[in-house]
Chain A
Amino acid sequence: MRILCCVKRVPAPGARINVTADGLAVDAAHLGFTTSPHEECGVEEAVQITERTGGEVTVLTLGPAEAAEQLRYAASVGAHHGVLIQTDGAAWDPERTARALTAAIEALEESGGPFDLILFGNESADSGGFQVGVRVCYSLGRPIVNGIKGIEINGSTLRARREIDGGFEVYELAMPAALGVKEGINLPRYPTMRGRLASKKLAITTMEIDAEAGGQALVRLHRPAETLSQTTILGHGPEAAPAVVDVLEELGVL
């Protein structure tokens, strides 16, 4: 099987997200970078599938040169190939991103044959647009289902499961197909030391693809006001019991 995973380099956030002075980006001064968590699960799923069925995993990302770090990370946990659509680091809107990814996928398929399965993260951890995967698949004319937390491969078809209120939905898709996976589909492995060292040798294919911008422009990011909560210590040990009773009565629990 040939599986493609699309991943995004995002800041590894702290408890508080700071915004740059111009309001157009997350201030990453104190932050490291990571792979968007849904997509990290996508890579793990792809690696597990190829471990079972054979095949290869290609990881594709769009971002600055530093995004090679995310490709190497994917290689360190078992991905076989890495492709970087290199940008100058400025944020691209979803349409532009989707156009560039589509072009890249078409080029990769032309040279290496079609991907049986393309995995996206359900949404990115930073901008959360929920649309890049759908746009790419629309352009490629390929089916996609989002919110996936389970994948079974059966020959040339796959079954994908997603959670809904009170149960789940199961989809059967003929491949080639695409899925948007969610955290929880698996527990991604950590890279081993050997995996990390091997990933240093990954030959990354770099592509330069520009694409027309879409209609969605970032106006400004706002950090919501922190909601402060107050904690009152009611007491210590058995002496605290009357105060606890008072609170429970106040809440109508007793």
Chain B
Amino acid sequence: MSEFPASAKCVVIGAGIVGNCLVGHLTKLGWNDLVLLDKGPLPNPGGSTGHASNFIFPVDHNKEMCLLGVQSANQYRDLDLSVDSGGIEVARTQERMDELQRRMTSATAWGVEAHLLTPEEVAELVPFVNTEVILGGFYCPTVSVVDSLETGTVMRRLATDNGCRVLANTEVLDIVAEPGPNPGDHTVKAVVTDAGTIETDYVVIACGVWSNRLANMAGATIPLVPAVHQMADVGPMDILAETGNEIGYPIVRDMDTFCYERQTAGSMEVGSYAHRPIFHHPDEIPSNEEAALSPTEMPFTPDDFDPQMEQAIELMDMLGDAEIKYAINGLLSLTPDAMPCLGEVPEVRNLWSAAAVWVKEGPGMAQVVAEWMTYGYPRVIDAHGADISRFYPEERPDEHIWARSAEHFNKTYGIVHPAEQWESRRNLRVGPYFSRQQDLGAFFFQARTWERPQWFESNADLVERYGLGEREVEWDNRWWSPITNAEHLNLRDNCGLVDLSAFQIYELAGPGAVAFADRLAVNKIDVPVGRSIYTPWLTPDGGFHSDLTMMRLGTERVRVVTGVFDGGRDEFWVRRHMPTDGSVSFANVTDHITTLGLWGPNAPAVLGAVCEADLSQAGSPYGSLVDVELEGGTGRPVAATLFRISYVGDTGWEIYLAWDDGPAVWDALMRVGADYGLRPTGGGVYGTSGRLEKGYRLMGAELESEYNPLEAGLARPRVKAADFIGKEAYLAAREAGDPEVQMCVLTVEDLHDSRGRKRYMQGGNEPILTSDGERIVDSHGRVSRVTTAGPGPSLGKHLLMGYLPAELAVPGTDLQVMYMNELFPVRVAGTGAVFDPDDSRMKS
């Protein structure tokens, strides 16, 4: 027996599909001093991989999940450990048929072959389906069944052949992290097991359902919960046995009952996502020794499964007389937002998470983590949605994880609108104006943990004034109100007041603050005090990590203002890159500062009524920061910083205030604004319609690590002298000449569908196609798709944004967009603003 390793460059904990693929991918990328350990035996240590259904339906509306599913399926294929069985999602309702049209749209976007089938066509492929209960099906020939255990073994062997040591039956007792290098930081040092301690530079937790318990050992969190997915294996049935194959018929997903039927040799596996959410704390999961089957194959609770049996028999009558040979409450991992947990954990340096990953995306996500560890960022895809640093502190406790996972478990096969809001765990973070906004009938959207008004029912009168109305089709109208268009038009005519309290605000201070800020940012931060800088932060490969505003508040003080969706990632990025010499201190001041946006032609008059400062473009120039006093109506002046900027295309300010001063200023502005048509204005204008008309890019939508500032149209004429993260790649991209693709704004020229109904694209990755209906894909494999869609009320057009190859990124180019599997004509408006393109309204 080989000696227990006293040290390793990296210890990977967990030998399921993810851990095995991870050591394989790390080995391919040149890592060799690896240890892979698991508390269970090999090749099946008892985690979720061992009882997985092992099939991959490649189409998902979510880009990361879809493309990493496809990537994973291809990795299984490359190892010859995969069979393309095909798969059909069947619909029992018209609503589901509409959803299948949306699936077709996503299939087109991601380049996955798919066909809509009539019930009879479904029966041609799966003759034992009862055609009377279905309206149709969505067929993907490339749905595959994979051998995840053998794939794990092959990937593990690849690693062991190159020096990776594997320790089975070895349980982790502790993960040691020590303080440093900066105050509040910790860094991983060692893994303590029941067989000895391994000193190590990196630890990756790939322990599936146990991951949070392991992370907790180091003082970190991996927000996931072990959740039951019930499965029953029924058979034998002659028609299946006669195929002579493990899988001879396409897999059927009975979408409206949240069930699937998957052949496994002579039997059928019936799996359910329809039962009540059943969760277990990791400490409740039995050990390998205690478990009747395996730790993650928990005792079946038949009462929960009975309704699914009835539905399964309804779809496939032969199942009724088949024997239930094996049935489990199988455990898998769920997270609060239904996305995986990948990347370095924010609490402990060099401690990584590769968790909440299912077999269907395991190899691809392992590749993501391996690249991230090697290159400082994933290369195969932008993975911001899976980045574990996305979670705010309020999203990490069990209370939140369990509530949210319970809410989305039954939506696994659900029809989820792109704008769908959570019901549970609301009002976690609210701005100081919350009660006032409630009084005004605000309809709140939650951005991660923060409540933001999307529109105000108190503005319903404007709908009539502007002659607006509801959208024709309920789906397009869902999570939307014509009030948002009315607020938009009122802002353009008068002015609007926008609550921006969810801005995440950090301050860097100290002698090294400006130099460090410059290291993060593409654009120059070492500017005169009082200036602001809108800038990308790049990955080492030159793609977008962030896109935000920095403010030079003092000679040794820089403020960072970023969007609420990116706060967790951006704070982590700052802390992870901070100098370790003590020259820079970091403070998150989000809770202390509230921001109000005041925009519109009447904004200067409204602000002027509570402020004696010179608000002209001379006294408060565009892009400047000016400290002023406002009359807050409380008898004492309120200190504020006016930042003359606009994300909506009209003149005005972001007004930065002490949190507690916010309500008085809100009241004062609303009072004096009444004479100027001021209305509270929601995120529908700020985040979508106002932004879209100006062509402003949004991190996470237009801006991803797969695109660089040249392609996004955000490159400045010159590059600063100071070094910054991603500079080398950025310079190389600039030297390579004109970008291959450019971010464009497009107008939808005709909204009518084949039934004569006006339809409104939602910005859910709808593919942009040539006038011949062909997909548009660049040399990197990036597809042209809608990154944001929304109304342009001032233009009377529905607007889209998306990357297009340079030859198509020409104003006037006619293209098409697919929405709900129908084609609509669109025209390229340009790469910049379609409303007030010379910015005269903002700068006047």
Contacts and interface: CB of A to CB of B under 8 A. Distances in A.
A90 interface: no
Interface string B15-49: 00000000000000000000000000000000000
A110 B761 CA distance: 74
Given A192-B322, A193-B322, A194-B320, A32 B312 contact: no
A32 B323 CA distance: 20
B324 to A, nearest CB: 5
A26 to B, nearest CB: 11
A14 B299 CA distance: 11
Nearest to B270: A193
A191 B325 CA distance: 8
A31 B292 CA distance: 7
B321 A200 contact: no
Contacts of A192: 234, 320-324
A193 B234 contact: yes
B290 A193 contact: no
Nearest to B299: A32
A32 B324 CA distance: 16
B309 interface: yes
A30 B323 contact: no
Most chain-B CB neighbours within 10 Å: which of A189, A193, A194? A193
A190 B313 contact: no
B113 interface: no
A193 B284 contact: no
A196 B322 CA distance: 11
A64 interface: no
A204 interface: no
Contacts of B284: 29-30
A194 B313 contact: yes
Contacts of B298: 30, 32
B145 to A, nearest CB: 23
B232 to A, nearest CB: 8
A108 interface: no
A214 to B, nearest CB: 31
Interface string A185-202: 000011111101100100
Interface string B316-356: 00011111110000000000000000000000000000000
A14 B313 contact: no
B586 interface: no
A18 B325 CA distance: 26
B302 interface: yes
A13 interface: yes
B309 A196 contact: yes
Nearest to B310: A197
B234 A32 contact: no
Contact of B290 (A14, A69, A190, A200): A14
Contact of A190 (B291, B320, B324): B324
Contacts of B234: 192-193
B290 A18 contact: yes
Given A29-B284, A197-B310, A16 B290 contact: yes
A13 B292 contact: yes
Given A192-B324, A193-B313, A193-B324, A200 B292 contact: no
Contacts of A31: 292, 299
Interface string B222-257: 000000000000100000000000000000000000
B323 to A, nearest CB: 4
Interface in A13-58: 13-16, 18, 29-33
B306 interface: yes
B300 interface: yes
A32 B300 contact: yes
Contacts of A196: 302, 306, 309, 324
Nearest to A73: B302
Most chain-A CB neighbours within 10 Å: which of B285, B319, B320? B320
B286 interface: yes
Interface in A154-191: 189-191
Contact of B289 (A16, A189, A193): A16
Nearest to A190: B323
B290 A30 contact: yes
Nearest to A233: B1
A196 B290 CA distance: 28
Size bracket, chain A contacts: 20 to 34
Contacts of B285: 30
Contacts of B291: 14-15, 30
B804 to A, nearest CB: 53
Most chain-A CB neighbours within 10 Å: which of B285, B300, B310? B310
A209 interface: no
A14 B294 CA distance: 9
Interface string B275-318: 00000000011111111100000111010001001101100000
B112 to A, nearest CB: 33
Contact of B309 (A13, A69, A189, A193): A193
Contacts of B292: 12-14, 30-32
Contacts of B286: 14, 29-30
A78 to B, nearest CB: 12
Nearest to B295: A30
A190 B267 CA distance: 13
Contacts of A12: 292, 299
A197 B303 CA distance: 10
Contacts of A29: 284, 286
A197 B306 contact: yes
Nearest to A27: B290
Contacts of B288: 15
B320 A193 contact: yes
A200 B324 contact: no
A189 B323 contact: yes
Contacts of B319: 193
Contacts of A16: 287, 289-290
A13 B290 CA distance: 8
B393 to A, nearest CB: 32
A200 B319 CA distance: 17
A16 B312 CA distance: 36
A15 B290 CA distance: 6
Nearest to B302: A196
A66 to B, nearest CB: 11
A31 to B, nearest CB: 6
Contact of B324 (A13, A18, A33, A191): A191
Contacts of A197: 306, 309-310, 313, 320
B322 A200 contact: no
A14 B289 contact: yes
B272 to A, nearest CB: 13
A33 B321 CA distance: 24
Contacts of B306: 196-197, 200
Contacts of B300: 32
Counting from the closest, the 7 A-B pairs by CB-CB distance are: A32-B299, A30-B286, A190-B323, A16-B289, A194-B320, A14-B292, A193-B309
Given A30-B292, A31-B292, A200-B306, 14 more contacts: A12-B299, A16-B287, A18-B290, A29-B284, A30-B298, A32-B298, A32-B299, A33-B299, A191-B324, A193-B321, A196-B324, A197-B306, A197-B309, A197-B313
16 contacts: A14-B289, A15-B289, A29-B286, A30-B286, A30-B291, A30-B292, A32-B292, A69-B302, A189-B323, A190-B325, A191-B323, A193-B312, A193-B321, A194-B321, A196-B302, A197-B306
